[in-house]
Amino acid sequence: MVFKKLINWARIKSPWIIHFNTGACNACDIEILATLAPRFDLERFGVLLKGSPRHADVLVCSGPVTLQTKDRLIRVYEQMAEPKFVVAVGTCACSGGVFNGCYGVKGGIDSVIPVSAYIPGCPARPEAIIDGIVKLLKSLKQ
């Protein structure tokens, strides 16, 4: 019981993220990078950007899933170790946005892999991304 509490506490305090562009126009990517840069400093919540999916807990996706990135997205998701969470950043990642129904687009992130948090916005502002991640971590408490 105590151990479970400790482990849950550690998971909330140290979410390492990996950033994957599934076909975004780059606006959301710039905002995600701005969130990680010194001005907003996500490291104060324990968030670190990791290069390897094996190290990461949270997969931060931006953009609608194109047919080209669909297989890669599934592969990156499956390489991550449990427990893992997916955050969709931007309107396109949430639902496919204006690209929904386009010939090369599958749809939002949740049409391929399960998503834990949606952060809408075109592009989503750093404040919105921080808000979304904090809400995801709060939901882990229960």
Partner 1 sequence: MVMTIFYILVFPGFLFLSAYGLAVEFVDRKLYARFQNRKGPPWFQPFADFVKLISKETIIPAEADRRMFKSLPVFAMTAVLTASLYIPVWSTQSLFPFEGDVIVILYLLTIPTLTFFLGGWHSSSLYSTLGSVRVLTQLFAYEVPLLMAILGPALLAGTWSLSGVSAFYAANPIYALVNIPGFVAAMIAAQGKLERVPFDIPEAETEIVAGAFTEYGGRLLALFRMTIDIEMVVVAALVSAIFIPLFSANPWLGFLFFVIKTLFVVFLLALFRSVMARLRIEQMVRFCWRVLTPLALVQILIDLIVKGFVQL
Nearer to partner 1, 46 or 120 (CB): 46
The H-or-E segment that residue 117 falls in is strand 117-119
Q: Does residue 9 bind partner 1 (CB under 8 A)? A: yes
Q: Does residue 10 bind partner 1 (CB under 8 A)? A: yes
Which string of DSSP letters, residue by residue, matches 8-34?
Answer: HHHHHH--EEEEEESS--SHHHHHHHH
Stretch that binds partner 1, among 26-34, 36-44, 86-94, 127-135 (CB under 8 A): 36-44
Torsion sign over Cα 89, 95, 97, 102: positive
Beta bridge partners of 105: 66
Q: Does residue 46 bind partner 1 (CB under 8 A)? A: yes
Task: Please tell me the distance from the alpha carbon of residue 74 to that of residue 79, in angstroms, as a whole number.
Answer: 9
Q: What's the farthest any 2 CA atoms get from each other in the chain? A: 52
Q: Does residue 83 bind partner 1 (CB under 8 A)? A: yes
Query: In the set 1, 44, 101, 142, which binds partner 1 (CB under 8 A)?
Result: 44
What is the binding site for partner 1 (CB under 8 A)? 6-7, 9-11, 13-14, 16, 38, 41, 43-44, 46, 50-52, 54-55, 57, 79, 81-83
